[in-house]
């Protein structure tokens, strides 16, 4: 483990990157399939399959000889100019026999697949959706099916039906349909409780419609993959039958029969086995390979990406300043001229768009946090708060690049390589994320996860690590640390899990804690407890805290300074008391007005109309102008610089001077 | 028991009586989990009833039981005079035109592979039997009602932000002109500006159509801003119920007080007061608290006024001013040492009991 803290690569990321809003949704799976199909190995496998199918279809015209024509004069020849793959013991041309021998097999193998789909898909959908007794009965039937040896049954059928291939393939399909049934049932059960399925049920949509419309699409991906694997199994099974001389006309060539002929001559003429062996192995391998490559594209089997890519893209100099000027805004000077614990200056975070251009999502953000103080990053989703926080930790999601300056205790972090950054992370700056349950590994007990991190940062004997682990749990207000230490994340409540996450973050004794919406997912009373905990930790450990939130109540509770962000920029930076009592930027005022806490019942909330623009739609002039009550033509002429409007107070608005005099007009409850 | 303050004395739109919902836990011979434990409520036409509580309080389960998505163990649910207690969601064609839902997660509640138009057409087809062309006109009307552009019809949910998706979900619920919409944490996942926009939208829709809301959320100030009456729920039981304005201004039950003090206000000085308050109104953090008693009051482990009786006897629903409170302090006959101290408790002047 190179990092001590997990990173939330969540929806905010998607919402902030411009690529996430295509007009038509290209499903993640569809995209992955397309990528898979572009891989050379998959292309070769597919190419081989196409070749086999086409040559089998065109066997007649392509064959140089009649596959049944005997030429006893040229028996058991190796490859010659006349017989490219040689001849068998009756002098028949092997190439022609191989070309003719695949078609029936390839076609017959489709039947079991179709049969098991026809049985397994409807049954699996229905039983998975209904559950209960039907599920128990169906499960029993399928267990019986699984217990039946397919080969024995098909051999019996071949005896009874006088070697009737269609019947044999259908029976085989029935016997193997259990696998398809199980797959469909499991996927259905997983999607049965989706909210949009619930919504359809509430609307009285019929069961059949729900299954076809809302559930089947979720099952399709795994089904297609399973189809490939099932087909390859059926193909191999039928080849075995034809090897045994069953199911196929002994007069006509078939691949199994060719193998059988070659086996008889294996000691004297081993060449006979080579062509058919290669064809068979290549075909089955190609089928399985394509199936498995598709399987790897399914969301459930996708491997987790590396937390932090080993090589991070570097922003080109031309893009390193985002859309703004080259000079970052001046920072308020710290007391005594010392540099604050964490200084962020002119931070730019960009993602490379599909056209190759760098699109900033954080555009020249500057702030500083002193020891023992809290800075809150406030704003709506899509304003770049989370990206700013992650960039200070060097934890940007894949494809993101940061420029500007992040100084931690005087050390520049931007441009540090991953190895050096990993040393900084955890021991000097740590992260508490929004979803504590996602941040904890469900497979390990709290004690073992916490112990790992303690060992990483401090080392020491097992007893030392254990003591420190329990101390950390007590530090975050967990009285029965022994018992909680033994539990697994799913046994913890949300509040308890967040306390454990804070303990994890504190394990390396960092100076700076970055908390990304640490209480948003929690109940109010738990939120209050976590805020109290953070405050007491700050007092006892002197932590500098960067807290991302959209709740101005949380800001009032714990914040010292607040940076209000809008569309990637800081629009107002002020001491919290000043900001809440007399916001200078219209957006800050809008955020404050939207709080229902003290609103009069029955009166519409005063709020900001419209939505935050996407990064690609950011105007060059004031980005808030489109939603601003105070906007004039002057707001739409050029970029608005952030201005110092008071001690420690900055605002990015050309009418700041007027807002100071209380010109805040009533923002209406208007909607977009 | 009926919640006081009911606006319509005749027959209410919704009447839930003594509702119990148990969830079977996985495993052999496990004791079922009681998610809702004897809840009564009524809701008049055009009214908004707020249900507030924390996770595990059973507030969403009440909504799901009402919608037929959770099986009712005992009790009854009556909608517009019809008993729908055991009508499962699948057999609800006739109910669907009266009862709709807006879920919390705007990302999960819309099928990502269907256009907004198709999503909105679904309830129209299912309930009114409308076909594509007649539905389209209605859908455009719906979109303008929730203030989304016309061209949203042919776009997929991923083209919209969380707030816009929630409007689509609201439009879907409004499509069949229901009498009651269950808003199951409909605004909890939204940030504050979007939340305000959606609240305003819901209020406008209610004014225009007279729809009633069962408004489920965990934030007491938001619920009491938006609702006419409020039900405070804890571990499946109603702790306090009454007019929203009074519960917001002067929460009576110790749990309501804790809930009220927990939500921070955007004012530094006021928040400082509230912070002191929130430390006074609970005895222990959730991390420190003992498990709740089987009998008795579920809030006893965290309540600063807990006494012996709170651990052993379930508090009776006691009328207090214009509301009903399930707390021994409010019940003169409960045997609680502080019984009768209700006015002091509401004023925040009642001393804590000895732990």
- Would you call A435 an interface residue with chain B, using a CB distance cutoff of 8 Å? no
A338/A198 same-domain check:
no
A200/A330 same-domain check:
no
Tell how strand A400-408 and strand B229-234 pair up.
unpaired
Of A264, A299, A334, the position where a domain reaches its end is: A299
What are the structure tokens assigned to A641, written together?
A: 């610089």
Nearest to A373 by CA among A512, A550, A530: A512
* pLDDT, tens only, B228-273: 999 999 999 999 999 999 999 999 999 999 998 999 999 999 999 9
- Would you call A23 an interface residue with chain B, using a CB distance cutoff of 8 Å? yes
Cα dihedral sign, A61-A62-A63-A64: positive
Q: Answer whether B266 sits within 8 Å of A671, measured CB to CB.
A: no
* pLDDT, tens only, A656-671: 877 766 555 544 433 3
A277/A361 same-domain check:
no
* pLDDT, tens only, A623-638: 999 999 888 888 898 8
Q: Which chain A residues in 464-483 lie under 8 Å from chain B, judged by CB atoms?
A: 477-479
Residues of B in contact with A200 (CB under 8 A): 122, 126
Beta strands in A309-385 (DSSP E): 342-352, 358-369, 374-378
Please, which pLDDT band fits residue B48 given cuts at 50, 70 and 90? Answer: very high
Query: Would residue A400 count as lying in a domain?
Result: yes
Q: Dihedral (C-alpha) B131, B134, B136, B142: value to the nearest 10 degrees?
A: -110
Q: Which chain A residues in 208-247 lie under 8 Å from chain B, judged by CB atoms?
A: 209, 213-214, 217
Instruction: Give the chain B residue whose CA is nearest to the CA of A382.
Output: B161
Query: Would residue A636 count as lying in a domain?
Result: yes
* pLDDT, tens only, A562-584: 999 999 999 999 999 999 998 99
What pLDDT is attached to residue A92?
A: 86
Total structural domains within chain A: 2
Query: Would residue A348 count as lying in a domain?
Result: yes
- The percentage of residues in chain B with a pLDDT greater than 90, rounded to a whole number, is 45
A114/A230 same-domain check:
yes
A416/A528 same-domain check:
yes
Please, which pLDDT band fits residue A494 given cuts at 50, 70 and 90? Answer: confident
| ipTM > 0.85, yes or no | yes
Q: Please report the DSSP string for B24-40 in residue order.
A: PPSSTTPPPEEEEEEEE
Query: How far from the centroid of its chain's Cα atoms is residue A294's Cα?
Result: 17
C-alpha span between A493 and A437 (Å, rounded): 9
A105/A191 same-domain check:
yes
Domain B1-88+180-248 has CATH 2.70.70.10: no
| A273-295 helix and A255-264 helix, angle to the nearest 10 degrees | 130
Tell how strand A561-566 and strand A643-646 pair up.
unpaired
Which region, left, alpha or beta, applies to residue A507 given φ > 0 means left and ψ of -120 to 50 means alpha? Answer: alpha
Tell me the three state secondary structure of residue A294: helix
Q: Using CB atoms, which residue from A15, A22, A671 is nearest to B200?
A: A671
Query: Would residue A28 count as lying in a domain?
Result: no
A110 is in which domain, residue-wise?
45-68+85-299
Residue ranges covered by each domain of chain B: 1-88+180-248, 99-177, 250-347
* Burial label, B224 (beta-carbon count in 10 A; 0-12, 13-18, 19+): buried
Instruction: Give the chain A residue whose CA is nearest to the CA of B287.
Output: A478
Instruction: Please give, rounded to a whole number of angstroms, the shortest distance from the CA of A608 to a CA of chain B.
Output: 6
Work out the number of other CB atoms within 10 angstroms of the CB of residue B1: 15
Of A271, A299, A327, the position where a domain reaches its end is: A299
Q: Answer whether B203 sits within 8 Å of A203, measured CB to CB.
A: no
Question: Could you identify the residue written with the tokens 């992040």?
Answer: A406
Q: Which chain A residues in 559-598 lie under 8 Å from chain B, judged by CB atoms?
A: 576-577, 580-581, 590-598
A531/A387 same-domain check:
yes
A265/A319 same-domain check:
no
What are the structure tokens assigned to A368, written together?
A: 């500083």
A329/A218 same-domain check:
no
C-alpha span between B283 and B296 (Å, rounded): 17
* Burial label, A64 (beta-carbon count in 10 A; 0-12, 13-18, 19+): exposed
Tell me the three state secondary structure of residue A275: helix
Beta bridge pairs of residue B20 = B37, B74
What does the pLDDT average to over B140-157? 88
Nearest to A163 by CA among A263, A238, A89, A270: A238
Nearest to A595 by CA among A556, A547, A645: A556
Please, which pLDDT band fits residue B1 given cuts at 50, 70 and 90? Answer: very low
* pLDDT, tens only, A170-198: 999 999 999 999 999 998 998 888 889 99
C-alpha span between A244 and B238 (Å, rounded): 73
Question: Could you identify the residue written with the tokens 């304003």?
Answer: A383
- Would you call A206 an interface residue with chain B, using a CB distance cutoff of 8 Å? yes
**How confident is the prediction for chain A on average, in pLDDT?**
84
C-alpha span between A434 and A231 (Å, rounded): 45
Q: Answer whether B261 sits within 8 Å of A594, measured CB to CB.
A: no
Query: Would residue A472 count as lying in a domain?
Result: no
- Would you call A495 an interface residue with chain B, using a CB distance cutoff of 8 Å? yes
């Amino acid at each position: 483990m190179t990092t001590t803290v997990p990173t939330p690569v969540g929806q905010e990321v998607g919402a902030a990157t411009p690529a996430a809003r295509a007009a038509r949704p290209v499903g993640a799976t569809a995209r992955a399939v397309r990528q898979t199909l572009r891989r050379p190995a998959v292309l070769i496998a597919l190419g081989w399959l196409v070749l086999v199918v086409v040559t089998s279809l065109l066997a007649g015209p392509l064959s140089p000889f009649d596959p049944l024509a005997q030429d006893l004069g040229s028996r058991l020849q190796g490859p010659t100019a006349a017989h490219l793959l040689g001849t068998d013991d009756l002098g028949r041309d092997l190439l022609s026999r191989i070309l003719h021998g695949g078609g029936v097999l390839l076609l017959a193998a489709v039947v079991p697949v179709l049969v098991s789909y026809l049985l397994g898909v409807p049954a699996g959908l229905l039983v998975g959706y209904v559950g209960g007794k039907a599920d128990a009965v169906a499960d029993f039937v399928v267990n019986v099916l699984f217990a039946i040896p397919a080969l024995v049954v098909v051999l019996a059928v071949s005896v009874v039906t006088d070697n009737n291939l269609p019947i044999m393939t259908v029976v085989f399909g029935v016997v193997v349909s259990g696998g398809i049934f199980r797959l469909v049932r499991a996927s259905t059960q997983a999607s049965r409780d989706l909210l949009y399925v619930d919504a359809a049920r509430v609307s009285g949509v019929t069961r059949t419609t729900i299954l076809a419309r809302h559930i089947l699409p979720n099952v399709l991906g795994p089904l297609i993959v399973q189809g490939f694997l099932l087909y390859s199994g059926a193909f191999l099974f039928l080849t075995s039958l034809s090897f045994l001389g069953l199911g196929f006309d002994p007069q006509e060539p078939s691949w199994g029969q060719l193998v059988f002929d070659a086996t008889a001559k294996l000691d004297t003429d081993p060449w006979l086995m080579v062509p058919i062996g290669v064809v068979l192995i290549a075909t089955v391998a190609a089928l399985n390979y394509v199936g498995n490559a598709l399987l790897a594209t399914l969301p459930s089997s996708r491997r987790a990406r590396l937390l932090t890519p080993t090589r991070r893209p570097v922003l080109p100099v031309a893009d390193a300043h985002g859309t703004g000027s080259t000079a970052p805004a001046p920072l308020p000077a710290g007391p005594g001229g010392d540099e604050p614990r964490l200084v962020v200056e002119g931070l730019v975070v960009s993602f490379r768009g599909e056209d190759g251009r760098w699109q900033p999502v954080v555009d020249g953000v500057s702030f500083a946090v002193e020891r023992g103080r809290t800075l809150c990053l406030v704003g709506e989703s899509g304003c770049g708060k989370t990206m700013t926080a992650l960039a200070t930790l060097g934890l940007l999601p894949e494809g993101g690049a940061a420029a500007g300056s992040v100084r931690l205790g005087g050390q520049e972090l931007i441009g540090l390589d991953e190895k050096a950054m990993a040393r900084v992370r955890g021991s000097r700056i740590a992260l508490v994320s929004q979803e504590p349950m996602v941040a904890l590994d469900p497979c390990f007990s709290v004690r073992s996860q916490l112990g790992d991190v303690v060992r990483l940062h401090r080392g020491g004997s097992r007893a030392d690590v254990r003591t420190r682990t329990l101390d950390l749990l007590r530090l975050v207000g967990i009285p029965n640390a022994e018992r909680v230490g033994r539990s697994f994340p799913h046994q913890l409540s949300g509040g308890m899990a967040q306390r454990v996450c804070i303990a994890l973050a504190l394990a390396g004794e960092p100076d700076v804690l970055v908390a990304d919406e640490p209480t948003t997912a929690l109940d109010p009373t738990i939120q209050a407890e976590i805020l109290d905990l953070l405050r007491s930790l700050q007092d006892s450990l002197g932590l500098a805290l960067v807290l991302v939130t959209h709740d101005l109540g949380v800001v009032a509770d714990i914040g010292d300074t607040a940076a209000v962000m809008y569309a990637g920029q800081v629009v107002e930076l002020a001491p919290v008391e000043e900001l809440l009592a007399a916001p200078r930027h219209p957006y800050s005022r809008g955020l404050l007005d939207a709080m229902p806490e003290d609103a009069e019942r029955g009166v519409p909330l005063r709020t900001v109309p419209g939505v935050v623009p996407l990064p690609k739609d950011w105007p060059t002039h004031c980005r808030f102008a489109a939603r601003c009550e105070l906007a004039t033509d002057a707001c739409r002429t050029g970029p608005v610089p952030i201005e110092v409007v008071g001690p420690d107070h900055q605002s990015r608005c050309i009418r700041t001077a007027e807002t100071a005099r209380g010109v805040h007009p009533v923002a209406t409850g208007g909607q977009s | 028991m009926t919640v006081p303050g009911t606006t319509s004395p005749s027959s209410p739109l919704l009447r839930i009586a003594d509702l119990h919902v148990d969830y079977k836990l996985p495993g052999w011979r496990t004791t079922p989990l009681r998610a809702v434990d004897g809840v009564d409520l009524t809701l008049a036409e055009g009214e908004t009833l707020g249900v507030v509580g924390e996770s595990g309080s059973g507030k969403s389960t009440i909504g799901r039981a009402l919608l037929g998505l959770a099986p009712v163990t005992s009790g009854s649910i009556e909608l517009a005079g019809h008993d729908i207690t055991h009508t499962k969601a699948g057999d609800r064609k006739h109910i669907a035109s009266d009862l709709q839902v807006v879920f919390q997660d705007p990302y999960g509640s819309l099928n990502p592979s269907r256009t907004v138009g198709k999503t909105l057409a679904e309830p129209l087809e299912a309930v009114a039997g409308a076909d594509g062309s007649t539905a389209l006109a209605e859908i455009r009307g719906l979109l303008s009602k929730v203030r989304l552009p016309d061209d949203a019809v042919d776009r997929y949910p991923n083209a919209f932000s969380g707030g816009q998706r929630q409007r689509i979900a609201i439009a879907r619920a409004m499509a069949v002109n229901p009498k009651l919409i269950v808003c199951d944490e409909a605004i909890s996942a939204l940030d504050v500006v979007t939340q305000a926009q959606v609240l305003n939208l819901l209020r406008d829709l209610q004014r225009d159509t007279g729809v009633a809301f069962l408004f489920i959320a965990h934030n007491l100030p938001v619920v009491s801003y938006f609702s006419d009456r409020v039900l405070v729920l804890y571990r499946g039981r109603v702790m306090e119920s009454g007019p929203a304005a009074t519960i917001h201004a002067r929460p009576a039950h110790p749990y309501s007080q804790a809930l009220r003090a927990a939500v921070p206000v955007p004012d530094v000085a006021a928040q400082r007061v509230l912070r002191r308050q929130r430390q006074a109104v609970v005895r222990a953090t959730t991390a420190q608290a003992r498990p709740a008693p089987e009998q008795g009051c579920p809030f006893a482990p965290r309540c600063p006024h807990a006494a012996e009786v709170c651990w052993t006897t379930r508090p009776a629903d006691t009328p207090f001013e214009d509301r009903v409170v399930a707390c021994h302090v409010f019940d003169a006959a409960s045997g609680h040492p502080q019984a009768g101290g209700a006015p002091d408790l509401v004023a925040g002047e009642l001393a804590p009991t000895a732990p």
